[in-house]
Amino acid sequence: MKIYQTTQLAAVIASLAGALPAGAATVASGDLILGVRANGGTGAGISYVVSLGQASQYMVALATPITIGDIGSTIYRGNLGQDLTDIYGAGWAARTDLQWGIAGGTSGNNLFVSEAQSNSITIPLPWQINTQSGRNLAFSDIQSIGGIGIVGGLDDAAATANSAYAAAETNSYQNNWRGYMAPGGTPGQAGSTGAVDLYSFASPGIEGTTAQALALFNITGSSASTYVGSFSLGSDGTIAFVPEPSSALLAAASVLPLFFRRRRIA
């Protein structure tokens, strides 16, 4: 069984990386990184990892609902739905054993961490990491999964056939998503102990099921973090982001004076 599972995982990885786009996945410092993984069944042992672009674009400056995915999306990331089907099966959207989470940051005082919502309306209590050393360690974990300037991580992983920004990482891959972002990670990496990984700082974890929305929080110090907005994953693999309401209202308010001026001139 173990030999079969290893062979099966290798076949999935090979098929995902076997066509264009070729080369390593595209990711930059400061990007939000999304990870999907299975607790069992098809695709167990593989994390699907995607760069969602710079975290800053999800802040107040954008302040409008956006989509991330294939052609026609606000932020193009390729056919994520096909990748999810290739890894976790055609019925992935109906599975209850798939977890997903989002993390990013530029320093120990500018972290972005997700938290599962109990429903589409209720925003969970904000994360809080009280110590600077704790925040620095969480940032180190995020840098590890990005992999920029080090061996492994998304930066060195082969891009899938459907997205230049995504990769499929086995649990044995160096600096893989599960090793640092989830409980029960890879031996030798933080997630295997729960002692020095991001999961331990954000217990019960930054993940939710793929049916749950994820609230994104920005941690900038020892005080409670700030709610940025919420992500949801559609059955076709398209990701939707809805900003924190006051940000959207602020953006709308900035447009109203221009609208009325134009109406007056007309």
Side chain identity at 184, as an amino acid letter? G
H or E element: which one contains 222?
A: none
Q: Which residue has the tokens 């331990």?
A: 200
> pLDDT digits over 14-36, tens only?
445 444 445 999 999 999 999 99
HSE-CB at 22 with a 13 A cutoff on CA atoms is 2
What is the tens place of the pLDDT at every residue in 154-207?
999 999 999 999 999 998 899 999 888 887 555 455 544 444 456 555 666 899
Q: 45, 49, 16: which is closest to 147 by C-alpha?
A: 49
State residue 137's pLDDT score: 85
> Are 228 and 137 a contacting pair, CB within 8 Å?
no
Whole-number pLDDT of residue 129: 86
For the cut 80, the answer to whether the pLDDT of residue 152 exceeds it is yes
Peptide bond into 204 cis (omega under 30): yes
**Cβ neighbours of 22 (radius 10 Å):** 11
Buried b (16+ CB within 10 A) or exposed e, 4-21: eeeeebeebbeebbeeeb
What percentage of the chain reaches a pLDDT higher than 70? 74
Is residue 249 scored above 90 in pLDDT? no
Residue range of the domain that includes 166 = 2-265
Mean pLDDT estimate for the chain: 82
- 2 pLDDT band, cuts 50/70/90, is very low
The pLDDT value recorded for residue 184 is 59
Outline where DSSP puts E strands in 55-97: 66-69, 75-76
- 31, HSE (Cβ side, Cα atoms, 13 Å): 24
Q: Write down the pLDDT at residue 18.
A: 44
pTM over 0.85: no
CA 214 to chain centroid, in Å, comes to: 10
3-state secondary structure of 37: strand
Residue 76 has a pLDDT of: 97
Cα separation, 252 vs 234, in Å, equals 26
How does pLDDT run across 42-97, given as a tens digit for each residue? 999 999 999 999 999 998 655 688 999 999 999 999 999 999 999 999 999 999 99
Count how many domains the chain has: 1
Q: Determine the pLDDT at residue 30.
A: 96
DSSP state of 62: T
Residue with the bigger pLDDT between 258 and 188: it is 188
The amino acid present at 76, given as its one-letter code, is Y
Residue 213 in tokens: 């929305």
